[in-house]
Amino acid sequence: MKVQGFNHVTINVRNLEISINFYTSVLGLNIRHKGNKDAYLEWGSAWICLIEQDSYSEHIERQLGVDHVAFYIPEDHFKEAVKSLQDNHVKLVREAIKRGTGWSINFLDPDGTQLELHTSNLEERMKVWN
């Protein structure tokens, strides 16, 4: 398996509006989608997904900050990559699933950082995102 580039990073945030303002006004990223609890912002061929976490919930499973980092892999290499993860006994967080027009699989590195292999780009994702 050989990843072919950075795809996206997902960041858990406390306040979506404040975070959108920072990433668009301060860093100059372009907003592509804004939902009730999420936003997609792009720069170049990569993107950031911001996800607002309910700070009042007593059962927050995730922390604020980086949720996961995704790497691009061509779809015709995806099954081989999944097999490689399995053969190397990598702990999977989420099995391979079709998300929009592409495939993704989430797994942990040796220190517990969540990583993802993803086969589509932001343009393809936005075609099917509500």
Instruction: Encode pLDDT of 4-53 as tens digits.
Output: 888 899 988 888 999 998 888 877 889 999 999 999 999 877 888 999 98
Q: By percentage, how much of the chain surpasses pLDDT 90?
A: 36
As annotated, the active-site residues are 116
> In terms of Cα–Cα distance, which of 83, 115, 122, 69 is closest to 99?
122
Q: Which amino acid is at 51?
A: I
The fourth-level CATH superfamily of domain 5-56+63-128 is 2,3-Dihydroxybiphenyl 1,2-Dioxygenase, domain 1 (3.10.180.10)
Contacts of residue 122, defined as CB under 8 A and 6 or more positions apart, other chains included, come to 8, 32, 40, 42, 45, 46, 47
pLDDT band of residue 63 (cuts 50, 70, 90) is confident
Question: What phi and psi values does residue 126 have, to the nearest 5 degrees?
Answer: -70, -25
Report the greatest alpha carbon distance in the chain.
Answer: 45
